[in-house]
Amino acid sequence: MFDIKEIRSQFPILNQQVNGKPLIYLDNAASSQKPISVLETWQKYYEEINANVHRGIHTLSQLATEEMENSRKKVQHFINAKHDYEVIFTRGTTEGINLIAYSLGNSNFIKKDDEIIISYLEHHSNIVPWQMLCERTGAKLKVIPIDENGILQLDFLDQNLSEKTKIVSVNQVSNALGIINPIEEIIAKVRTQSSALMVIDGAQSVPHFEIDVQKIDCDFFVFSGHKMYAPMGVGILYGKEEILEKMQPFHGGGEMIATCSFEKTTYAGLPFKLEAGTPNVGGNIALGAAVDFMKKVGIQNIRNHENALLEYAQKKLLEIDGLKIYGEKAKRAGVVSFNLEGVGIASDVGMILDKLGIAVRTGHHCTQPIMDFFNVAGTVRASFAVFNTLEEIDALAEGVKKAQRMLM
């Protein structure tokens, strides 16, 4: 049974007023709120365990190691990775993509005139690391275009995939527009028309979808914990064993060595080769609690509830004269991104909503190419999580109407 009242009671932060109004938190694509179980797991680690992992024979260190490795296993099952050592702890999606780009660049995998394909719908985190790699190696960056609905034009792949293509990296769900990209179709094309590695940015899909990396058959899948009810500063890079094995380490330091001397260092096996330095142990353990939370609520229940919110939000917002939703006709998840005709600055709308206790994100959402495509400086973006309600959508629509009256 999906009991929204019970779910909301698990999020203490919702129980407060902002600017004298009950908080309505609709900025989950930037970072979701955290349930008590996650907060308590994190606090319990610091209160009762707090020790470094994989280093000590003392009890607390052993306990910390056990809890963190247990969390790795939870993530493994959550995304259906074949092995737990294919699950690498990172600081988030950004670090995951940089790790892949840097490490593949150092492995001589990319050479001058090779090609990397991304899409128009990418977050800057899935653009800039590849641009930097192209600058270092002389490879070329190519971009799958979109149509006026924000839908990827996959003919581009038929025309551009070749043996020169070394990496294709796309998101499963766009953060700026919420558009769900057909990654299965993309991967099928990539597999039949090239031998490129397939990277999926799952930052905006993991909070909403059931993920099965073996079924998707991607080579890498990256995401952040903080958008899926876990603390900030933790994330996951999944990679297929045979590819991770061949990759050079990203960072050098403690944890990632097998032997170290001034003459030569040899590297540890997976996952440690790619996890140099002291990890965010408390955060990594709390990520496991976030997985437990999502599984307990039921990922399909989360999806159904958020789909109902999205459909309702779209209907209510489109009743407002002069409101344009970007990607309105595309299949979407968790996000509605819009502007009001005649209101040039999205942040003006955001500031009025904030005075009403409603938190949304405004601006370019770290996706400037999408904003350029639609010829806007930014949009207003409301993004949903499992604890949001239809009443909150009503309040959003009323708030937008108020902003329209005040700004026109």
Q: Which stretch binds ligand C6P (CB under 6 A): 43-51, 241-249, 318-326, 361-369?
A: 361-369
In terms of C-beta density within 10 A (0-12 exposed, 13-18 middle, 19 or more buried), how is residue 251 classed? middle
Q: Is 29 in the site for ligand C6P (CB under 6 A)?
A: yes
Q: Give the nearer residue to ligand C6P in terms of CB position, either 64 or 287.
A: 287
Q: Is 30 in the site for ligand C6P (CB under 6 A)?
A: yes
Question: Pattern 289-328, binding to ligand C6P, x per CB under 6 A?
Answer: ----------------------------------------
CA-angle at 317, arms to 316 and 318, nearest 5°: 95
Active site residues: 366
Give the nearest distance from C-beta 360 to ligand C6P in angstroms. 11
At residue 166, the 3 state secondary structure works out as strand
Report how far residue 345's alpha carbon sits from residue 200's, in angstroms, rounded to the nearest whole number. 32
Q: Measured between alpha carbons, how far is residue 40 from residues 10, 46, 193, 207 in Å?
A: 11, 10, 49, 20
Question: Pattern 72-101, binding to ligand C6P, x per CB under 6 A?
Answer: --------------------xxx-------
Q: Compute CA 171 distance to the chain's CA centroid, rounded to the nearest angstrom.
A: 9
Report how far residue 186's alpha carbon sits from residue 111's, in angstroms, rounded to the nearest whole number. 23
Q: Are 271 and 88 in contact (CB under 8 A)?
A: yes
Per CB under 6 A, the list member of 175, 181, 379, 388 interacting with ligand C6P is 175
For 366: left if phi > 0, alpha if psi spans -120 to 50, otherwise beta; the answer is: left
Shortest-Cβ-distance residue relative to ligand C6P: 175
Q: Are 96 and 237 in contact (CB under 8 A)?
A: yes
Give the nearest distance from C-beta 406 to ligand C6P in angstroms. 25
CA-angle at 337, arms to 316 and 95, nearest 5°: 145
Give the nearest distance from C-beta 337 to ligand C6P in angstroms. 10
Q: What is the full DSSP assignment across 334-347? A: SEEEEEETT---HH
Give the nearest distance from C-beta 123 to ligand C6P in angstroms. 4
Q: Is 224 in the site for ligand C6P (CB under 6 A)?
A: yes
Per CB under 6 A, the list member of 103, 361, 379, 395 interacting with ligand C6P is 361
Q: Give the nearer residue to ligand C6P in terms of CB position, either 23 or 30.
A: 30
Per CB under 6 A, the list member of 54, 72, 123, 273 interacting with ligand C6P is 123
Q: Given the rule CB under 6 A, which residues bind ligand C6P?
A: 29-30, 92-94, 123, 125-126, 171, 175, 201, 203-204, 224, 361, 365-366
